Amino acid sequence: MTAYKIALIPGDGIGPEVVHEAVRVLETISELDPKIQFAFTEYPWGCEDYLKNGEMMPENGMEILRDYDAILLGAVGYPGVPDHISLRDLLLRIRHDFDQYVNLRPVKLLKGAPCPLKDVKREDIDMIFIRENSEGEYAGSGAWLYPNSDQEVVIQNGVFSRKGCERIIRYAFDLARKEKRSLTSVSKGNALNYSMVFWDQIFNEVKKDYPDVPTYSLLVDAASMFMVKDPKRFGVVVTSNLFGDILTDLGAAIAGGMGLAASANINPEREYPSMFEPIHGSAPDIAGKGIANPLASIWAASQLLDFLGYKEWGKRIIDGIETMLEQKRGLTPDLGGNASTSECGKTLTEYLK
């Protein structure tokens, strides 16, 4: 039997603390189901390394990662290294260069999870965000002209290709069809007169191939309002890179907090490894204290199992998280408990067993 080769990039701050709990959970699953084996290799890439060597990953870093079945990442970014360097040279580089153009982010309020919204039924918060993950506002195209002069100008271009828009919108339609859910496109054509008009046009074109999928189109400002006031409107949601980034932090806030929000960066063609990570950052304010919530990372491990074809195990992890929330056992301080990061991870493994 061959083991799945998994590259671990724990990264900065709480990244290593939470990733190691995700690994604990995957190792427990290997014990319980010996046909699922993993070979983990850890790469200590991140801001500490950058301060020593001047690079966020070695020159051949992408070649090293190329051979893995998947990547588990913690978080990147730490005070002392400018965020636009640390993130662009590591996390965003992997997403882009491995053509992980789908960023799948569930926003589901599990039973027992805290929710700040009033008059909203728990089951009404159940959406799947499909965020475009390879171009758009994150394309990194622009210029900084005449610095430090009174002529100083910066230009940040959004790059929306037909191929890029069409493939992400199709992916979202296929998912909505499979899940028998509606699909909402979120854009901003009233102000972004090139990029978002183009996005809306492509959404309307692709829609013709999916007459069975109910569709809605919302402007991003209204979408953020409806996520709070009427979240049951949303099933599958497809949107651009930046809008998806912002809306999924809002999604995290209504679905239990940053400690419960997971993210899969998928290359659907499986030409390159896909990458699984919590959506939160390195949380410098709590790093090193042993109180970070590992459940988002563990949820990302569940997405990894789904991706490898072990949906039963993926679901068992989510069921385990839900039971912990309902029974208020093994929870970290952000969820009102007093467990440490590792106690939380261990509690989940007990539920799996």
Judged by the rule CB under 6 A, the positions of this chain that interact with ligand IPM are 87, 91-92, 245, 279, 281
Q: In angstroms, what is the minimal distance from the CB of 142 to ligand IPM? A: 16
Between residues 83 and 179, which has the closer beta carbon with respect to Mn ion?
Answer: 83
Read off the tokens for 156. Answer: 């940040």
The nearer residue to ligand NAD, 158 or 257, going by C-beta atoms, is 257
Distances (CA, A) of 228 to 117, 128, 129, 200, 254: 7, 16, 15, 24, 8
CA distances from 146 to 84, 154, 196, 209 (A): 20, 9, 30, 48
Task: Let me know if 25 is exposed, middle or buried by CB neighbors in 10 A (0-12, 13-18, 19+).
Answer: buried
Q: Smallest gap, in angstroms, from Cβ of residue 87 to ligand IPM?
A: 4
End-to-end, the C-alpha distance of the chain in Å comes to 23
**Per-residue interface string for the shown chain with Mn ion, residues 304-333, x marking contact by CB under 5 A:** ------------------------------
137 binds Mn ion (CB under 5 A): no
Find where tokens 């100083």 sit: 152
Q: If contact means CB under 5 to 8 A according to the sort of partner, which of Mn ion, ligand NAD, ligand IPM, none does residue 293 touch?
A: ligand NAD
Buried residues in 290-304 as b, exposed as e (16+ CB within 10 A): ebbbbbbbbbbbbbb
Sign (positive or negative) of CA dihedral 156, 161, 165, 168: negative
Q: How far is the CB of 171 from ligand IPM (least distance, A)?
A: 18
Binding site for ligand NAD (CB under 6 A): 14, 18, 75-77, 83, 87, 91, 258-259, 277, 280-286, 292-293, 296, 334
Tokens (6 digits) for 29: 């699953």
Q: Judged by CB, which is closer to ligand NAD: 7, or 18?
A: 18
Binding mask 44-63 for Mn ion (x = CB under 5 A): --------------------
Return the one option of ligand IPM, ligand NAD, Mn ion, none that residue 285 interacts with (CB less than 5 to 8 A, by type): ligand NAD
Nearer to ligand IPM, 251 or 337 (CB): 251
Minimum gap (Å) between residue 107 Cβ and ligand NAD: 16
Phi then psi for residue 4, to 5 deg, are -70, 130
